[in-house]
Amino acid sequence: MSDLKIPSELYQSMLDELKVAYQEHGDLLRDDMIEAVFKAIEENGYSIVPVDGLESENEKLKNILRKAFPEKSGHFFICGEAGEKDSMGLPEKIMVCPAYGLDGFASYKKDRDYDAPGW
């Protein structure tokens, strides 16, 4: 089932319109008929999902794409590793290129082993 994503304002507007229609035509539009409309939408392979916070989700996806395609975005990226790897597979050093197409890189050295917070 795919989601029919609509802004929460539109979702609320749809519900409000159905309520108004119900008030004006109470005999014709009962609660079970309103539920039937939403059920029909779901039976056709959709679910109505209000999409609050769409902007923040969009920013997350943009950031992922910037990092996934540095040649297009100009974003920095890890271009190499050096030294021994620890038990977690992390190298002693990493090389970071500030932008795709540049000849140089910055070298960063690990200052301590991996350590998880003890919650």
pLDDT in the model for residue 80: 93
pLDDT digits (tens, 9 = 90+) for 37-47: 667 667 767 66
Percent of the chain with pLDDT strictly greater than 70: 56
pLDDT digits (tens, 9 = 90+) for 79-105: 999 999 998 899 999 999 988 888 899
Are 77 and 38 spatial neighbours (Cβ–Cβ below 8 Å)?
no
Are 61 and 53 spatial neighbours (Cβ–Cβ below 8 Å)?
no
pLDDT digits (tens, 9 = 90+) for 51-63: 666 667 777 878 8
Are 99 and 75 spatial neighbours (Cβ–Cβ below 8 Å)?
yes
DSSP class of residue 105?
-
DSSP class of residue 25?
T
Tell me the average pLDDT across 71-85: 88
Q: What is the DSSP string of 26-78?
A: TTT--HHHHHHHHHHHHHTTEEEEE-TTHHHHHHHHHHHHHHH-HHHH---EE
Looking up tokens 């119900």 gives: 22
Question: pTM for this one?
Answer: 0.46
